[in-house]
Structure 1
Amino acid sequence: MKISLCLLVWNELEGCKIDVPRLPVGQFHEVYAVDGGSTDGTVEYLESKGIPVYQQPKKGLNAAYIHSVEKSTGDAVVVFFPKGTICPSTLLDFEPHFKAGYELVVASRNIEGGRNEEDSALFKPRKWGVLGLATFAALIWRREGHAIKDVLHGYKGFSVSGFKRMNPVDHGLSIDIEMVIRSYRLRIKRCEFPVHEVARPFGESNFKILPTAKRLLKYLWWEMRRRDS
């Protein structure tokens, strides 16, 4: 199986400096990046390391994923966000799951052996929110197979054919939970493996809690009325 590694970036120069030197590039069919419009030198840094960078033609996280597939010449794609929060050595954990026939593989912070950056805190709004969404999605749409616990983690791998069957919308930021729900509805084989996440060493998340939650709820309402299965 040919597995492509795609770095999804948007002003992540410092994260790239931490993660890119540790990428197991020789274990992948190809390595490239999809950029959402960086202005901090991210693109220049990646290109200086021999990593081709493609500008996504449309804004939004969904569009970035779709462009990652369009640029892939492999059978599967692993998307990784180089921001210094997860060890790049975990990229090697995807291949065995692909070889076992899984078409959606999520690097999970919320299963046994995994760790969320909030786990050391008493109040865990992001983790609790993700687990709540995971429970809701599984109750409504899952009919068989594994129930994904980390439905909003962007760090994942998927077969190109499975992604095209899921047919995600090309706008917005619903892609992570959308891929899980579509895998339930289409009975696409899925699994998770544990990863440890630490707090960002710099900068802030591009996805604020309240605006993101509002857009995800809007997507869930739309998905519930989506006819194809």
Structure 2
Amino acid sequence: MRVSAHTGSGHRVVGANAGGLRYLDSSSGCLVRICSPEEDPALWDRYLAGALNGYRHYGVQDALDVEALADGRSTSLFLVAIDPDGSVVAGLRAHGPHATADDLPGFHPWIGTAGEAGLRASVDAKVPHGIAESKGGWSTRTVPRRPELGALVARGVVHVTWLLDVRYGFGVSPLHQLESYRSSGARQDPGIPAVSYPDERYTTVPVWWDLSDLSAATPAQRDLIAVERAQLLEARRS
């Protein structure tokens, strides 16, 4: 049965029965769950704990701002991958839809830079079609399937954008991670200069997923997106 649920952020999202939606990632063997923080507060806490550990490893934990995120009100949906042993091994969160560039936390690093006007114009052009931002992607460093988990998170952006019923997914990516996001159809916003974010060690660019055109995704990722979306549709009907 398809229902709509209100999140603490005030956004209306596509959901299912309590506990959210789920699908099996055949490449990693993980069960993937997608829900709002209010649907499963304990699972939300596990997502935050994993994200904090991942961000701490790279010394950028201040960019996560766990205290501000803890109540879940700024998150519309989150996704976690659960290992067969029950461990949460990857995740991301999303919020939207957004009406202006200033509503997008990922836009803020460009404020006051040479790319601000161009990125603002890019956002404004897409707002009528709907924009959701995905952030806080992470995967554990303690399992041997890191490439599969990275690909899972990249596909997850497509799934949460679709579930939020918008056309465009927005995110920011350091250059070293760009190929992973490109694998699921992301395109770098052309002509927007990179910024140093979250600190001077990283060169970061804005990226977009256009759900009406995922032709840039790799064939393997496109196939998995289709298989997983079918599972999500079936779960939403049940």
Shorter-chain TM-score tier: 0.3 to 0.5
Q: TM-score, normalised by structure 1?
A: 0.32
Write 1 or 2 for the structure with the bigger share of strand. 2
Q: TM-score, normalised by structure 2?
A: 0.32
